[in-house]
Structure formats: C-alpha cells, structure tokens
Structure 1
Amino acid sequence: MIHAAIKEAIQKYSGELTELRRKFHREPELSWEEFKTTAFVCEYLEKLGVHYRKTEPTGVIATIEGGKPGKTVALRADMDALTVEELNKDLPYASIEEGKMHACGHDAHTSMLLIAAKALSEIKEELPGNVRLIFQPAEEVATGANELVKQGAMEGVDNVFGIHIWSQMPTHKVSCSPGPSFASADLFTVTFKGRGGHGAIPHACIDAAIVASSFVMNVQTVVSRTVDPQQPAVLTIGKMVVGTRFNVIAENAVIEGTVRCFDPKTREHIENQLKHYADQVAAVYGAEAQVDYIRGTRAVINDEESANLVQKVAAAAFGDGVLYNEKPTMGGEDFSFYLDQSPGSFALVGCGNPEKDTQWAHHHGKFNIDEDALTTGAELYAQYAWAYLNN
C-alpha cells in the first residue's frame, strides 16, 4: 500500500516544499487572478515532464501517465488567496500584497501537490494508471471547481481526492471520516420595500427598518422550530443596510446572509421557509419583499470506501496515532462539485501548534501553518494515488 520511494522523495524534497509554500505565501493572488501562480505551476510541471494545459482564465489541469494501464485518480489543490490583511508582519515570508493574504492555507495545498507530483513522476513507470492533477482557482468564491469540471478536469476520472490543511487540528494529524465533511453553503439577499417619509410622521409611512428587524428576529425560528434538531443547520444574517438619515423613515432595507447544512431536503426546506417568512413579515406591515437565493457549494460527503482507504494509507504511512476524528464543519468547500462527477473523499491535515503560534482560525489575519505538516500532506496526496491505483 505504501511506496517507499514516495516517502523517501517527499523527505528529500522537504526543504523545497517549504520554500514553495513561502513563495506562494509572499505572493498571494485573489480568485480568478492567479496568473503568476498558474504560470509558475505550468513551468514547474514542464520541468517534470508532466503534460498539462492551462484552464481559462487561470488554473491548470495535468496528467501523470503511468507506465501500465489502469484507472485514473484525481488529486486537487486550490490556489487562491483572500482579501485579508496579513498581521504576521514579522514573518520573513509575509505577504507583499497589501490587503491580500493566504489566510486559509491554499499556498500549502498548491505546494504539497507540486511536490507530490514530483515524487509520483519519479515512479510513473510503475503506476498502473494515471494521476490527474487539478490546480484549481477561485475556491474562495465557490466557482472554481465547477468551472474546471466544465473545462474537463474530471473527464475519465474514476476517483478524486483532496486535502485541506487545518489549524484546528494538531500538526500531522489526519482526519477523513465517511459521510458529511463540509456543509453546503448558500447565499441569500432579502430586499424589503416600504414607504419612506419624515421621522416625525411615522403614521404616513411603512418603516422598512421595522420590517427588516422583525424579519431578522423571526427568521431564526426557521432552524430552531421548523428543522429536525438532528439535522444540523445554520442560518446567519451577516449584513443589513437600512435607511439614509437619522430623521428619515427608511423606504428600503437590504439583508444578506448564508445558509449551511448537510441534508439536501433540509436545504430545500430552509430556502422555501426563508421566502415564506419574508413574504409574511412584509405582509404584516404592508411592505413588499423580494428574496434572491443563490445555491453555492453542495455538501462535501466523503465516499465510505475512499475515506476508509485514506485512513488505511495514513495509518500505514505515519502510524495509527496519526488518525484524528474531526467533527464535520459548517464551512463550505467547492470540492463537492468534483464529488458530483466521481466517488472520492476530502481529508484534513492538522497544522495547529500553539508553540509556533499556528492555532489561529482560518481567514484570520494571523493565520499561519506549522510547516512540519507540509510533508504529511504531500505524502498523503502521493501515497493515496498509489494505493488507489493498486487497490
């Protein structure tokens, strides 16, 4: 199950792996702007002799062709950064782009997959099948995976595997349980239209601020009183814009929020209830409501056979003590679009170490990783591909 040459190669290239991660961290690029990162990945793969093609406008799809016939397994890494200001100014590899930062670990993912590709290339004649490499843009805006699927990333793929570095888990630990891993992530906007007027004559107006406030308070009962308590779900109002001036009764109110859950029926129910609540609250006050509901990423549900293989590979490569049972998160991940095309799984690799100050939450300005976790992730990528093709 474990290829000794892969382990040896990952260790041999550990220094390069760290330098790659630091390079990407210093030079973050936002979603659909990963032009320099894309060019670097292409150049790196070309040196390895790996066939690749750029996707539009950014991203790379490549294939390591094995020396023997067999199936095709895909390995995915995302590449985009966030609009977050780096607070780790003392780091020698701190972001040089003001207001941009790899605050989620995608710099680590890209680096790990490049080194995994290097290790797999060295044993490609032994591979009974092919390894598809997906360097994906725009995960943070939940549109990259779907676009790469449209551009052929999953054509001919029998299984897909992805990794996310995880600061909430101890360094080196690996978690990949069958079933739910990441929640679906939807966005909604509710617009209320009332009738504005002078603050001194409220009886002649329909106050959109009152309507919106009533909706915000009441809509929380969609989860607490209409969803099965054994079905995890979150409905969050993140933004509300109401009114223009202190003595003018608001005519319009705009509310934005998100819905997270794991069950498709629960997802549909919340969407319908949200629209129902908006209409009914507006009707009470004589206002009008419009709901725009955008379905984002689907829930990431790990295939049982694939997740079990990840656990076996991790235990064989790093010892039984490496396995960790991280609970499903309400965070979203567009890896779900790949799972719509083939079975697969999504693993978490711990990078949290309080002694190195790497326990900060993802998307925080002080987020950083314990770089000792990089070799764990790179080897897990490569060993999983080897094990799947030989399984």
Structure 2
Amino acid sequence: MNIEQQVKDTFTYLHNHAEISWEETETTQYIASILEKNGCRVTTFHDQTGVIGDFGRFHANLPIVAVRADIDALWQEVNGQFQANHSCGHDAHMSIVLGLLWKINQSPELKDKVALRFIFQPAEEKGSGALSIVDKGMIDEVDYLFGVHLRPQQETKMGHATPVIVHGAAKMYNAVIKGHDAHGARPHLNINAIEVGAQIVNLLSKIHLDPRIPHSVKMTNFQAGGKSTNIIPGNASFSLDMRAQTNAIMEELDAKVLHIFETMKNLYDVEIDITNTDGIVAAETSDEAIAIMEAAINHVLGTENTDAPLETPGGDDFHFYTIKKPNLKATMLGLGCDLTPGLHHPQMMFNKDALMNGVHILYEAVKQVYKF
C-alpha cells in the first residue's frame, strides 16, 4: 500500500474512533502500535494518555526535531446526538504526522541520519495537554518543534500553506456570585445577583486597551434563579471568555477583569469567587523555524502558493512549548485544504488530498534542518 492510501485509511479510522480530551485511550494504543511497527522507541504514560515515538540516532550529536500532533476530539452535538467529533482536524494532524514517519522510513537519505521525536499529545482542546508533555520532560532535549493545523477556506486555500500560525491568547473564567435569596416584595433585604452580573457585563464593555492589538472579553454564560418568580436570587454562576493577540495584552486584560470583580465585591458586599480558570498563551514565534517551514512549502507547493504568516484570534496550546522552553525553535504549519464551513462546526469537511501536502511539507522541513 502506498503512503497516500495509508494516510487516508488512517484518517478514516481515527475519524470514526474519536475520543475526547484525557480519554484518548484507544487512540493512544492505536498510534503506539504503529510507532512500534515502524522502528520507534515508544513512551506511554501510566497516569495519562498520549504517546511519544523516538526515531533515529539520539546520541550522535544531531539536532533533535520534534513533530507534534494533537489527538483529542470535541464533545458536540452532531445530527441531534452528542458524541466525540473530530471537527478541529486532529484526526488529519495525526494522519499527516504518521505519514511523515512512513515517508522517512522509505527514505534512505534520512532514515539513519535524523533524531526525530513524534509527539502525539492529548487534551489540546482543554489547553492542558502540552503542559503535561512539558512536565514529562519530553521537550527538554528538543531543538526544533513543528506542528500542523488545517485552516479554514477563508484563511488559506487548497494547495496553499503558511509557514506560521500566529495564534492569540485565550483565558476563560468560571465564577460564582454568593449571596442569599429574598422575597420579591423586599428587594432591600438582599443584593440581586442578576443585577451584579449585569453590572459586570456593563463594566467589561468599558475596558479599553491598545486598539491596534485585537482583544475582547465577554460573558458567555449566566445562570441565576429558579422556577419561583417571586424570589430575588442572591446566587449566580457565570463564565467569561477573554481573547488577546499578544500575551502582554492578555495580562492587561486579565488585570482589568480581576479589578472589576474586586470593585463589585466592595460595592455590593457580595462574594465573587473564581471556581475554575483555563487558558492558552499567544504564539511566540521563531524566525529560524519559520524560514525552514517557508522553504519547505516553497519546495512542495511553489513560492506562489506560500502564504504570508497567518494571524488568527483562535488559540492552540502548542505555544506552551515555547513559553516553557524559550530557546525552542518552533512553528506551526497552516495547511490549506478547502475546509468548510469552519473549524469546530459539527459538519466540518475538507479536501483529503491536502493530507499528503502536509506530509511532503513536514518531510522537506526535516530535510532543511538536517541540510539534505
């Protein structure tokens, strides 16, 4: 079977066996088996999903190149039924990275002259998988790191690719307002949690930061009260979503939001407690890694199909790797594939012929590092 058919068959299998974040048990086992059969030294973890495959000569003073694919799916409603669903393209990313392994295995010029680490990372959708791989020490020795992500049709066309995706930062808060209920006829006896929430929404809209750098903050969930309409609720829960194109602006935005919480607590004499925080950092880019990926795209698709760096408000926990190891030379390939209607849409579709474009580009990027 040729590599293209292997890649497409692998994609079909992974698409039909999607697993959500931190539950990618069968996916881990499936990939580990492929890695072992193709000459990799395999590392799995007793306390989490995900798998690492080391290929080549790791003690020959060669630069170590890591290639990362995310392995988790989303939990969403598809045709009226909730299920694990690969609507973010992670099934494609895994297939492309495995295709790279197969291509290198068939290439005598590279097979015995590289030190490659294949990182199949869990829980990207939770924003915590990359940090778990860092904590396991899996990038301590790595010099270069390449990722890949399918791009929507509006960003990058089929047959095109961009050498870097400049993701923004994201932070999410779940919080509660704590007070006590009161009778609807006696509003002076409590603080209406709904009014506190409305004030928070109003103040969020008054945050003004550098207008040249995209940023936003909004309340995405608010729950208060019950079935009885004559009770003024003193308790509520809510969620906030924050976005910023740079880590510095995210720090400013976060500080403003926390100041609003403190102001509301002091003004209304209520408790506002943050119950959960999630987030991912903005991209910290490497000129050297971008140049390598750009040369690889030029070789495979031609200079006319090599797009400029792609700036997007979306996020990816891939960038925790460079935050935790600042000297790591990393970039993420943005692959055009006629993806519609959009990422995270339950009916997301793309042109499967783009899978091999990804394989060939990553292969050329590896060659660029080792100067073949």
Aligned to 1:346: 332
- Cα pair distance change 1:156/1:124, threshold 3 Å: farther
1:5 is aligned to none
Tell me how far 1:186 sits from its aligned partner. Answer: 1.2
CA contact (8 A) 1:238 1:256 kept: yes
Q: Which structure 2 residues correspond to residues 243-282 of structure 1 after superposition, within 5 A? A: 243-244=225-226, 245-282=228-265
- What residue number does 1:145 align with? 130
Task: Give the CA deviation at 1:167.
Answer: 2.3
Q: Percent sequence identity over matched residues?
A: 27
Q: 1:24 to 1:255 in 2, by over 3 A?
A: same
Please give the alpha-carbon distance, in whole angstroms, between the structure 2 residues aligned to 1:236 and 1:379: 41
CA RMSD of aligned residues (A): 2.2
Pairing 1:89-168 to 2, within 5 Å after superposition: 99-123=83-107, 126=110, 128-168=113-153
Separation (CA, whole Å) in 1 of partners of 2:219 and 2:174 = 10
Range with greater deviation from structure 2 (25-34 or 183-192):
183-192
Q: Does 1:320 align with 2:303?
A: yes
Q: Within 5 A, what are the aligned runs for 1:2-41?
A: 12-41=2-31
1:82 aligns with 2:58: no
Q: Aligned to 1:174, which of 129, 142, 161?
A: 161
Name the SS for the 2:48 alignment partner.
Answer: coil
> Which residue identity does 1:348 align to in structure 2?
G
Question: Which one-letter code corresponds to 1:99 in the other structure?
Answer: Q
Q: Which residue of 1 aligns with 2:293?
A: 310
Of 213, 225, 229, the residue aligned with 1:231 is 213
2: distance between equivalents of 1:124 and 1:49? 14
Query: Secondary structure, in 3 states, of the residue corresponding to 2:76?
Result: coil
2:62 maps to 70
Cα distance between partner residues in 2 of 1:166 and 1:345 = 15
The AA in structure 1 aligned to 2:51 is V
For 2:211 and 2:261, how far apart are their aligned partners in 1? 23
Cα displacement string for residues 70-90 of structure 1 (whole angstroms, at most 9, x for unaligned residues): 211110001111102334x9x
- The alpha-carbon deviation at position 292 of structure 1 amounts to 5.3
Letter in 2 for 1:46: E
In structure 2, distance between residues paired with 1:308 and 1:78: 23
Among residues 186, 192, 197, which one is paired with 2:171 in the alignment? Answer: 186
- 2:187 corresponds in structure 1 to 202
Q: Which amino acid aligns with 1:229?
A: P
Contact 1:66-1:124 at 8 Å conserved across structures: no
SS class of match (1:63) = strand
Aligned residue number for residue 353 of structure 2: 372
Structure 2 regions of 5+ residues with no counterpart? none
Quote the residue 2:223 is aligned against: 241
Tell me the amino acid that sits aligned with residue 211 of structure 2: P
* Structure 2 CA distance for aligned equivalents of residues 36 and 293 of structure 1: 29
Structure 1 residue 326 displacement after superposition: 5.9
Aligned counterparts of 2:315 and 2:62: Cα–Cα separation in 1: 33
Is contact 1:279-1:288 (8 Å) kept? no
The alignment partner of 1:140 has SS state of helix
Q: Is the 8 A contact 2:94 2:120 kept in 1?
A: yes
> How far is 1:109 from its partner?
0.4
- Structure 1: gaps of 5 or more residues: 1-8, 90-96, 353-357
8 Å contact 2:160–2:305 — kept in the other structure? yes
In the alignment, which residue of structure 1 is the partner of 2:340? Answer: 359
Name the stretch that deviates more: 145-154 or 261-270: 261-270
Moved more, 272-281 or 58-67: 58-67
Contact 1:136 1:145 in 2 (8 A): yes
Check the 8 A contact 2:127/2:278 in 1, yes or no.
no
Comparing 142-151 with 127-136, greater Cα deviation is found at 127-136
Instruction: Tell me the alpha carbon deviations over residues 4-46 of structure 1, each in whole angstroms, 9 at most, x when there is no partner.
Output: xxxxx9xx41112111101100110111111111111111112
- Choose the corresponding residue for 1:60, options 33, 51, 64: 51
Deviation at residue 98 of structure 1 after TM alignment: 5.2
Q: What is the CA–CA distance in structure 2 between the aligned matches of 1:326 and 1:112, rounded to whole Å?
A: 21
- Give the distance between the partners of 1:157 and 1:41, measured in 2 at CA: 21
Moved more, 250-259 or 58-67: 58-67
Instruction: Output the amino acid matched with 2:365.
Output: Y
Provide TM-score, normalisation by structure 2. Answer: 0.91
Q: Higher mean Cα deviation, 259-268 or 101-110?
A: 259-268
Once the two structures are superposed, residues 179-234 of structure 1 have per-residue CA deviations (whole angstroms, 9 ceiling, x without a partner) of: x7111121213332344211122122211111111111211222xx2x11122212
Residue identity in the other structure for 1:338: Y
Under a length normalisation based on structure 1, what TM-score does the superposition of the two structures give? 0.87
